[in-house]
Amino acid sequence: MPRFTVHIRDEWLAVPCRDITNTIRWLGQEALKRYMKNKPDNGGIPAGKDTRFSMRRCQGLGLLDADDTVEDVLEDNDFVELAIEGDTMSPDFIPCEPGYLSLDGNSLTANDLVNLGRGLYKIKLTGEAERKVVQSRELLDTIVKENKVVYGITTGFGKFARTVITVNKLKELQENLVRSHSAGVGNPLSPERTRMLLALRINVLAKGYSGISLETLHAMIQAFNASCLSFVPEKGTVGASGDLAPLAHLALGLMGEGKMWSPKSGWADAKYVLEAHGLKPISLKPKEGIALINGTQMITSLGAEAVERAQAIARQADIIAALTLEVLKGTTKAFDSDIHSLRPHPGQIEVAQRFRSLLDSDHHPSEIAESHRFCDRVQDAYTMRCCPQVHGITIDTINFVHNIINTEINSATDNPMVFAERGETISGGNFHGEYPAKALDFLAIAVHELASISERRIERLCNPSLSELPAFLVNEGGLNSGFMIAHCTAASLVSENKVLCHPSSVDSLSTSAATEDHVSMGGWAARKALRVIEHVEQILAIELLAACQGIEFLRPLRTTTPLEKVYELVRSVVKPWIKDRFMSPDIEAVHRLLIDQKVWNVAKPYIDKYQTEYIPESRPGSPTAFSLESPASPRKRVRHE
């Protein structure tokens, strides 16, 4: 009898189908019945009502017509996604109209910024932020009115800091600054990254230390909320005085010059894009040009995306490595908490605990682990045994970088600074990008190590002398090449990363006639960190594919419940390899699972439950230690109430 696997929220349900002339609507209704039956409150779905839903084929995401018959559009054991209309419990649910995020210049996080980039929120200012902006601008207007000589307000810039500009030329001074500094090259930032850049610049200006007018800041917010996004080339910043070229391009579009993009207009001349949304170009007042382009916002916004993606892939790397260890019939003794309490780095302890949460044979019985429980192997290769030590320092580095980026997000990086309460402006160097540049170089180096160790595990999976599995994880080797070249792809990406991990922040070139004689090169640090992280995601996608393929050769034995759930998730988008086929789509499909954090979301409930409901029995001298493989006597479990 044919059966189909239907994904509803976070659960996979097998639905048998005796009559394949039934419709897709019938299949969805049957799956919903089974889902609600296992929930004490029907999962929050009203019983007896006609619940509206849509269904998609998991592979390729093709939308299924509810009136089509099962036999016409599905094959036996196909995987289908069911989305309940308006369901806020779905991880993919996005409200039709974004809510608002209030910016005050002090409380934005990297996660908030990434969500702003995705278009999940619009922006508004807090009342306190508006008050500070007005107060700061009033001081600047006084300076101009009294003809005081202040850098960047009534003087030129950089080498021209001693050149005083007449009052009737101050508007032209600011406009010329933006135009001349719009000298970037290369491809434009994506709409998501440009949204992040614009949102972050608004947040920094909202602190009230830049002298921007409230009128101009509101115009920037209106452009953000309408998704009117300037053409910002990705190359051209040296990271001090901040990201001058990218931020100048950002301001240029707001002035109605250059190119802009919006969902409504696509790429077009900026003035027409603004006009199509009922917006007017900004007209720069004294100091506003330099206020718009001085700062570390490109380094930091790209850094926010990098550190968020790094955190996501680091967590999922633990899950993938645990699955590989199971397939290679490794021992779990290396994750005993007694070992890690003797070297108590936070990341190392966290990773070891995560491995225990996934592999504890008492809590999650594993037929694969049981099949080799009494083998004579004492210890495994470093790539399995040392995961807590290698993955752990990556996690600690990510946490360090997160703190740097979150601080930078809410920092005033303009020059000169306007201190309304002191009644003066002060020139300084907060625009220097060394903090985020150094941090992002560290991030690239640390996250790359997840790929380096993963590639070695892929080798162990593919090499029959190391895995006891068929060569390259395929039957009829020779006729079929299996994962041979997928491993080569992983190796090539690791090699690329080794070059990309050379720190850019150790370089400096003097610019602006030796006025800016030490720079951070932070823009390149941010861009290459993102490239390194993407490679890491792709390499781990290959390892996850290989580990799931390895399980096929161990069947009918099953692994632990959380790892079986991960296997089922992968099989919802990629079928087992029976013979050679086009592999790139498989890698991309699993890469997408990792980007969307679906591997983490599937395993997390089991990890959380294990870590919050159960604590190990204590042994003398080690209050938190226990062994995963101690079959002699059951451990006492203590439930946290």
Query: Which residues are known to be catalytic?
Result: 151
254 touches 281 (CB < 8 A): yes
Q: How far apart are CA 326 and CA 542, in angstroms?
A: 16
Total Cβ atoms within 10 A of residue 142: 11
Which residues, in sequence order, are CB contacts of 395 under 8 Å at separation 6+? 314, 346, 347, 350, 351
Q: How far apart are CA 50 and CA 25, in angstroms?
A: 11
Instruction: Count the alpha carbons within 13 Å of 363 in the hemisphere toward its beta carbon.
Output: 24
92: its two tokens: 């993919």
Total Cβ atoms within 10 A of residue 267: 12
- Asked if the bond preceding 241 is cis, omega within 30° of 0, the reply is yes
Going from the C-alpha of 329 to that of each of 343, 358, 379, 577, the distances in angstroms are 26, 15, 11, 21
Q: What residue type is assigned to position 37 of the chain? A: K
Any idea how long the chain is? Answer: 641
Cβ neighbourhood burial of 22 (10 Å; 0-12, 13-18, 19+) = middle
461 touches 483 (CB < 8 A): yes
Going from the C-alpha of 440 to that of each of 127, 315, 505, the distances in angstroms are 34, 19, 9
Instruction: Count the alpha carbons within 13 Å of 273 in the hemisphere toward its beta carbon.
Output: 28
Taking Cα atoms as reference points, which of 350, 347, 354 lies closest to residue 400? 347
Q: How far apart are CA 384 and CA 574, in angstroms?
A: 25
Cβ neighbourhood burial of 302 (10 Å; 0-12, 13-18, 19+) = buried
DSSP 121: E
170: its two tokens: 């101050």
Beta bridge partners of 64: 55
Q: How far apart are CA 105 and CA 129, in angstroms?
A: 7
Cα distance between the two ends of the chain: 45
Phi, psi values for residue 419, rounded to 5°? -105, 95
Going from the C-alpha of 367 to that of each of 364, 550, 551, 586, the distances in angstroms are 10, 15, 12, 27
Cβ neighbourhood burial of 194 (10 Å; 0-12, 13-18, 19+) = buried
Total Cβ atoms within 10 A of residue 610: 18
Beta bridge partners of 102: 124
Q: What residue type is assigned to position 313 of the chain? A: I
Antiparallel, parallel or unpaired: β 11-16 and 3-8: antiparallel
Please, what is the Cα angle at 107 between 101 and 110, to 5 degrees? 80
Rg (CA), the chain: 28
Beta bridge partners of 235: 185
- Residue by residue, what is the 3-state secondary structure of 252-265? HHHCCCCEEEECCC
Q: How far apart are CA 204 and CA 249, in angstroms?
A: 17
State how far Cα 95 lies from the chain centre.
20
DSSP 16: E
